[in-house]
Amino acid sequence: MLETLKIFVDLIQTESFSRAATRNYLTQSAVSQRIRQLEADLGQQLVVRGRGRMRPTEAGKIFYDASREILDRFAQARDELNRIRHVVSGSLRLATVPSVGLHILPPFLKSFLKEFPSVDLQLDYRRNNEVYEGLLDLSFDLGIVAYPSRHAQITQIPFREDRLVLISPPEHPFAKGVAVPLKKLDGHPLIAFDSITPTGRVIDRALRSAGVTVRVVHRFDNVETIKRAVEIGSGVAIVPNSTIREEVRTRHLEAVTLSGSGWSRPLAILHKKGRKPSAPALKFIDTLQKDL
């Protein structure tokens, strides 16, 4: 029954039969059958199925809250028993922004999974605001974001600073410099982060403060697309240094320092206040604080 409750909770959290199936290593058909059987056992329709996003019925919302509480209590009890046996196991639901998950976390994930192979680690890529929302509704155990904002119900643990650099094609005049003053970007084509992203807002604010007017050619919400646009010569961009190491190594891009202060992107580990992190979550925090 616990397995079925987990499938139902994952379905409500992901709003998708296919994503719930992926989380539980099942086929979409198997998930659908489990939910139909659960509805038959309870004598209540729990979800509304449609072409758009799946959504819970009123009964489904009530049963979701109860199911999540049961699973949470079970996980806490298992943690206590594992502590007695000096074993770390269970699940760890982690959410982070793609730039961190793809370019900073891999060595930490590898180290953690090697040391704690019994932990079922689930990694979701989300926007900053979605990470906060998921922590508050207990969809995630831990979150890692850039430019963390204060929240009364969220605990922040500093993770690291990620330097912002100017990138260009190797043949660009900027690539020849050691450091580029922000003023030199005046009038230049820029591939920018979407203004709804924290990094985009910080860069936009820095340009305005310096009185620099750039010609924004494109705005994208992810660094991978920004890098591809810079590679083909559409413009220059300001991105986290951690995200362009491979392109610099292979000479597809060049990165130069920006003059002045404020070009460091703070990263933080987040968890919900008032809720003791599980043993896997605590061990993962320990891993992130190592110098790998």
Whichever domain contains 223, its CATH number is: 3.40.190.290
Q: Identify the domain boundary among 87, 105, 130.
A: 87
Whole-number Å distance between alpha carbons of 89 and 278: 10
Structure tokens at 8: 């139902």
Structure tokens at 241: 């240094």
Mean pLDDT of 165-178: 91
Highest mean pLDDT pick, 53-57, 84-88, 138-142, 214-218: 214-218
For residue 65, give Cα distances in angstroms to 68, 72, 155, 245, 271.
5, 11, 23, 44, 19
| pLDDT of 138 | 83
- Per-residue pLDDT, 266: 96
Q: What is the pLDDT of residues 231-240, one digit of tens each?
A: 999 999 999 9
Question: Looking at the domain assignment, is residue 135 inside a domain?
Answer: no
pLDDT, residue 52, reads 60
Gap between the Cα atoms of 289 and 264, Å rounded:
19
Calculate mean pLDDT across residues 189-207.
Answer: 94
pLDDT band per the 50, 70, 90 thresholds, residue 85: low
pLDDT digits (tens, 9 = 90+) for 122-136: 999 999 999 999 999
- Domain C-terminal end among 87, 110, 131: 87
Last residue of a domain, one of 57, 87, 117: 87
Can you tell me the distance from the alpha carbon of 10 to that of 138, in angstroms, rounded to the nearest whole number?
A: 11
Could you tell me if residue 31 is inside a domain? yes
Same domain, 258 and 170: yes
Domain span at residue 224 reads: 162-265
Read off the pTM.
0.75
- Does residue 258 fall inside a structural domain? yes
CATH number of the domain residue 56 falls in = 1.10.10.10
Model pLDDT, residue 75:
82
Q: With the CA atoms of 92, 93, 94 and 98 taken in that order, what torsion angle do they form, in degrees rounded to the nearest 10?
A: 130
Give the pLDDT score at 292.
Answer: 66
pLDDT in tens, 246-288: 999 999 999 999 988 789 999 999 999 988 888 899 999 999 9
Over the chain, what is the mean pLDDT?
A: 91
Q: Is the pLDDT of residue 96 over 80?
A: yes
Q: How many CA atoms lie within 13 A of 116 on its CB side?
A: 23
Split into its structural domains, the chain has a count of: 2
220, part of any domain: yes
58 domain residue, yes or no: yes
Interatomic CA distance for residues 133 and 130, integer angstroms? 5
Reported confidence tier of residue 137, pLDDT bands at 50, 70, 90: confident
- Give domain status of residue 152, yes or no: no
Same domain, 83 and 166: no
Cβ atoms of residues 275 and 114 within 8 Å:
no
Structure tokens at 142: 């831990």
The reply to whether 14 falls in a domain is yes
9 neighbors 64 (Cβ within 8 angstroms): yes
Is residue 39 in a domain? yes
Query: What tokens were used for 259?
Result: 């003059």
Helix (H) or strand (E) holding 254: strand 254-258
**Domain match, 167 and 252 both:** yes
Q: Looking at the predicted structure, is the pLDDT value of residue 143 above 80?
A: yes
Q: Is 96 helix (H, G, I), strand (E, B) or coil?
A: strand
